[in-house]
């Protein structure tokens, strides 16, 4: 299960590359794709879809995600439409962006990401992997601005024994996934525009799958998982970067970053704790009693960054393209703690490399747990 977080999600590529290297050193060496179900939210949905499209290649799919990320630049993900005259003043840039946001519902134009995903992700490859049994299901989440319902869109092999689900405020539907589903799942509120999808015979507009995601683990559990590896990019302890200098009033960038952190990460830990409590309770019950309950044990292993990604983004802030720096600066989003917001938008190789390296480091720090989880030896 791959959680979202804009550019921060490159961290997952490092974790998975390290996992592939660990598994190759275990008895049996090269092996097939190690996951039966992939669930992605927001930019995590892009990673999940990319992995699904390459699942037939086995562990090589885990290796390939990092080069995909390292090949990105900001102009391959989004662009800012600012006329040359806005260079005169940050205030003029801010006024222009505000007008654009009012007209389009978002500050950034994400057509470059559409083109990037069409080139990078083979939808036929996803279907081939499902039909060949390399993967059982791929699911991505999105939130409907039209109805407020949180949707999980699932793609499974023809004839698979999965059923859609309906719960208060959230539901699932099985249908072939498209680039539009990925754009909807990764549409960061205010920054990326809403994406229309057809559900229940009508068109609804969708935004980031992290919004209104009250039960992030639910899709994996509904799709039959009894073990879930969650790779997130959130940090409950954020090292004080939401505050201004010397603990002063936080700036626009700090507030925006804090709001996005709340959208992307606040529900995950609570859901993990709940699943762990239920699992622990079931294992303490007599087997005959546990067998009669509509629940099953689910083991969850969660990996998240051990270093502040806000601080890491501040170290690489200079890599933001000039137009983005001018625009965000005009909105006051890069002053007094602008690292949190920038960390979602820094799709530049220098920052991506630092994230991938951190992901590999953190994975090796949890080598024993990862190999035990994957069924390998811990030596």
302 forms beta bridges with: 230
CATH architecture of the region 6-233+253-377: 3-Layer(aba) Sandwich (3.40)
pLDDT in tens, 268-327: 888 889 999 999 999 999 988 888 888 899 999 999 999 989 889 888 888 888 777 766
Mean pLDDT for 204-229 is 93
Give 241's pLDDT tier (boundaries 50, 70, 90).
Answer: very low
Q: Determine whether 42 is an active site residue.
A: yes
Say if residues 185 and 141 touch (Cβ distance below 8 Å): yes
pLDDT in tens, 337-375: 556 778 888 999 999 999 999 999 999 999 999 999 887
Distances (CA, A) of 65 to 49, 52, 118, 154, 222: 11, 11, 16, 21, 26
The catalytically annotated residue of 127, 208, 310, 362 is 208
Give 102's pLDDT tier (boundaries 50, 70, 90).
Answer: low
The yes-or-no verdict on residue 379 having pLDDT over 50 is no
127: region left, alpha or beta (phi > 0 left; psi from -120 to 50 alpha) = alpha
246: region left, alpha or beta (phi > 0 left; psi from -120 to 50 alpha) = left
The crossing angle, in degrees rounded to 10, of helices 43-54 and 60-70 is: 130
The span from the CA of 352 to the CA of 316, in Å, is: 10
- The residue ranking higher by pLDDT, 68 or 108, is 68
Say if residues 40 and 84 touch (Cβ distance below 8 Å): no
- Strand 137-144 to 150-156 pairing: antiparallel
pTM: 0.89
The yes-or-no verdict on residue 251 having pLDDT over 70 is no
User: What is the three-class DSSP state of 176?
Assistant: coil
Domain edges within the chain: 6-233+253-377
Q: Determine whether 208 is an active site residue.
A: yes
Give 198's pLDDT tier (boundaries 50, 70, 90).
Answer: very high
- The residue ranking higher by pLDDT, 262 or 54, is 54
Percent of the chain with pLDDT over 90: 59
Give 378's pLDDT tier (boundaries 50, 70, 90).
Answer: very low
């Amino acid at each position: 299960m791959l959680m979202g977080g804009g550019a921060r999600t490159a961290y997952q590529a490092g974790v998975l590359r390290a996992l592939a290297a660990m598994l190759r050193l275990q008895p049996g060496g090269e092996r097939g794709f190690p996951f039966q179900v992939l669930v992605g939210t927001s930019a995590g949905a892009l990673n999940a879809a990319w992995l699904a499209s390459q699942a037939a290649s086995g562990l090589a799919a885990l290796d390939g995600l990092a080069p995909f990320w390292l090949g990105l630049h900001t102009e391959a993900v989004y662009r800012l439409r600012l006329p040359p005259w806005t260079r005169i003043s940050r205030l003029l840039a801010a006024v222009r962006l505000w007008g654009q946001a009012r007209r389009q519902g978002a500050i950034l134009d994400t057509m470059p990401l559409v083109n990037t995903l069409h080139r990078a992700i083979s939808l036929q490859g996803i279907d081939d992997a499902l039909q060949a049994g390399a993967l059982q299901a791929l699911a991505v989440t999105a939130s409907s601005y039209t109805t407020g319902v949180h949707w999980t869109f699932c793609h499974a092999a023809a004839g698979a024994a999965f059923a859609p689900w309906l719960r208060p405020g959230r539901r699932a539907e099985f249908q072939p996934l498209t680039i539009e589903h990925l754009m909807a799942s990764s549409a960061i509120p205010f920054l990326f525009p809403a994406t229309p999808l057809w559900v229940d015979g009508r068109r609804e507009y969708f935004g980031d799958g992290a919004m209104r995601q009250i039960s992030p683990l639910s899709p994996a559990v509904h799709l039959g998982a009894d073990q879930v590896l969650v790779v997130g990019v959130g940090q409950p302890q954020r090292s004080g970067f939401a505050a201004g200098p010397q603990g002063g009033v936080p700036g626009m960038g700090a507030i925006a970053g804090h709001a996005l952190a709340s959208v992307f990460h606040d529900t995950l830990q609570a859901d993990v704790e709940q699943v762990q409590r239920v699992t622990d309770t079931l294992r303490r019950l007599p087997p005959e009693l546990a067998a009669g309950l509509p629940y099953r044990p689910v083991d969850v292993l969660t990996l998240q960054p051990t270093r502040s990604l806000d601080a890491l983004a501040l170290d690489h802030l200079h890599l933001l393209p000039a137009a983005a720096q001018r625009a965000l600066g005009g909105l006051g989003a890069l002053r007094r703690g602008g690292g949190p917001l920038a960390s979602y938008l820094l799709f530049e190789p220098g920052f991506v490399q630092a994230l991938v390296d951190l992901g590999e480091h953190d994975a090796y720090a949890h080598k024993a747990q990862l190999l035990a989880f994957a069924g390998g030896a811990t030596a």
